[in-house]
Structure 1
């Protein structure tokens, strides 16, 4: 039986609206229940504003749930304090959408990748450097990339570096928040296939967030369809894409 890695129970996130309606609570996520097993990819599919990224951010601790529970390896991390969140960074990582804004332009790639190894693992300099070289090679770059700055790389190469940063602490789960939507079409397939290869080699689980049905179909074992913060359909990817039960899912398929 595959080990259950993540359980999200009745998750609710409310945002306070601004402007003339300031103070009114708007549900960004409205009672969503999901699960994810080790080595599996769960795709979150929906239009902009459907709550996909908010769910990912709640799992990462970047937003605070209003209600519900998030369990990781059976531990309730819903309201984990900052110290515990720093520890969880060894096990839960993220790849964001923008490869240009996610890397500090004033730090070399080596400095960016080495920092979590020093802070979290307290590795010696030589051991950390070897880990950085190995990880850069794993994502399709050469070791000398560590000595260069982000401005020396293309968008696709920067996203490979962002993936390397997510991998460096050997996590169990990576939240992929639209990781290819800012890239040229010619580059997207290379990044998606890299993520698949890494999963097969390392056994990583992905929570894969996208508005692109074809991407979700290519990447996911199961998919969850969201609309206006609510879960409308969830199941194996073939069932969702070939035999959708919900009219909203059928509309997304027709639009694709």
Structure 2
């Protein structure tokens, strides 16, 4: 859905502003289509949200689209209704679309979808994250009627339909979504509590606590480049974290914490062992 919307709406010499770091498609696909892309960087001292004043400096009369990821991957930060309202006001000044990747939308802090706030808002979501069904590759896009009609035409040239069995599984999931979401909500709450406990007792780790989403960004007090640390952690202890330099954020790691509780506890224990060895 992301590729389809960008492919259909972005043209060479358009100006795009993309939240960064985020899902790579949001800035690299526009670049590949010949658009000029400015990165709107998240800031740690703002709770991993990007600065709206910085957006005002980046916006141009020919800005075609502002791309956001709400909640954000990798940080887990969430733009609330008030923040999104200010964002919409800025986009309206130049008539820019706001494209919102919402696959990590929170359970207990449900920020509104961009399509409920802005006529030129475009939202994508899927069963991959919040619903824990990534394998079938089924999702959706919501927009105004004009944009939806454009995308229907383009879709005939990309993927006419999803697989029949994928459709069947997706239907089954959505018919039982409340049970699935409750199960996933419980996993997030329990594992987030384990992360809180670990952060509180681990002097070499700190974080800006994420919204109730399945990704977190943890700052580590280490004396070497974070990728070197992450590779040694993997090789010596069998624990995988994503090094923050891959998001241009040194000294941080992304931790997906919604695995089995026992796996998380053991992984954090080994991470502490390695931290205290460094």
TM-score of the superposition, structure 1-length normalised? 0.36
RCO higher in structure (CA 8 A, sep ≥6) = 1
Max radius of gyration: which structure?
2
TM-score of the superposition, structure 2-length normalised? 0.33
The structure with the largest strand share of the pair is 1
